[in-house]
């Protein structure tokens, strides 16, 4: 059953990745967050890029080539996905690693697959989203397959408005 759930989650993450990178359907901007919506299938998400990124290796700041770095909350009613948190660091994560997310001092662990990280359960998603609604910043720390530690800091200004807008647009 766990393998099935991981497969479903991966397919949603891949769809989310394609939607986030290819969509021109930005329907709203809420301070540091944007809202996107697609109609076939119906899916909506609030998304932001980091305000600050620091890459380190062996305790030293290093340059690292990374793709898009995005933190998002995703809705797809047809797949019963409501408020799924996704993070892409723009690189493949170290196999078997987890990503740490710190929202104003509250720590969360995200599991990884390829370039994506997400919470283990919908209940965990809800806890993280609630913390983000109350918080001012989220710091996401991961380790690349090459051993580089990345620390991305996201502003949460506009997060609540963006997520509530995305959820409303995808209400079934």
Rounded Cα distance between 169 and 172, Å, is 9
Q: Which two tokens stand for residue 163?
A: 């997520």
Q: In whole angstroms, give the CA distance from residue 64 to residue 91.
A: 10
pTM: 0.85
Higher pLDDT, 72 or 8: 72
Sheet holding 137-143, edge to edge: 26-30, 33-39, 42-48, 70-76, 81-88, 116-118, 106-113, 98-103, 137-143, 149-155, 52-57, 60-61
Model confidence pLDDT, tens digit, residues 2-36 = 333 333 444 444 444 444 445 568 888 889 999 99
Q: Greater confidence, 97 or 39?
A: 97
- The answer to whether the beta carbons of residues 108 and 124 sit under 8 Å apart is yes
Beta strands (DSSP E) in the chain are: 26-30, 33-39, 42-48, 52-57, 60-61, 70-76, 81-88, 98-103, 106-113, 116-118, 137-143, 149-155
Answer yes or no: is pLDDT of 133 > 70.
Answer: yes
* Mean pLDDT of the region 115-131: 97
User: pLDDT > 90: what percent of the chain?
Assistant: 80
Q: Where are the domains positioned within the chain?
A: 2-25+47-156
Per DSSP, the three-state class of 13 is: helix
Region 40-56: mean pLDDT is: 95
Q: What is the reported pLDDT for 117?
A: 97
Segment among 20-24, 71-75, 78-82 with least mean pLDDT: 20-24
Q: Is the pLDDT of residue 164 over 70?
A: yes
Report the DSSP pairing between strands 70-76 and 60-61: unpaired
- Per-residue confidence at 110, pLDDT binned at 50, 70, 90? very high
Mean pLDDT to the nearest integer, 71-95: 96
Question: What is the second-level CATH architecture of the domain 2-25+47-156?
Answer: Sandwich (2.60)
Residues of the chain with pLDDT > 70, as a percent, come to 85
- pLDDT score, position 30: 86
Nearest to 142 by CA among 106, 114, 104, 105: 114
């Amino acid at each position: 059953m766990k393998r099935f759930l991981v497969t479903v989650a991966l397919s949603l993450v891949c769809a989310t990745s394609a939607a986030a990178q290819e969509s021109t359907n930005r329907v709203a901007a809420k301070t540091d967050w944007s809202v996107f919506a697609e109609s076939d299938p119906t899916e909506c998400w609030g998304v932001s890029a980091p305000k600050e990124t620091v890459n380190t290796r062996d305790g030293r700041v290093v340059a690292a080539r990374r793709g898009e770095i995005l933190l998002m909350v995703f809705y797809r009613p047809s797949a019963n996905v409501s408020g799924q948190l996704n993070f892409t660091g723009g690189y493949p994560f170290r196999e078997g690693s987890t990503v740490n997310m710190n929202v104003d001092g509250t720590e969360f662990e995200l599991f990884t697959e390829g370039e994506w990280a997400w919470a283990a359960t919908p209940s965990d998603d809800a806890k993280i989203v609630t913390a983000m609604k109350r918080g001012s910043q989220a710091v996401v720390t991961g380790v690349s397959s090459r051993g580089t530690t990345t620390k991305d800091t996201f502003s949460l200004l506009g997060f609540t408005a963006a997520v509530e807008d995305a959820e409303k647009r995808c209400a079934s």
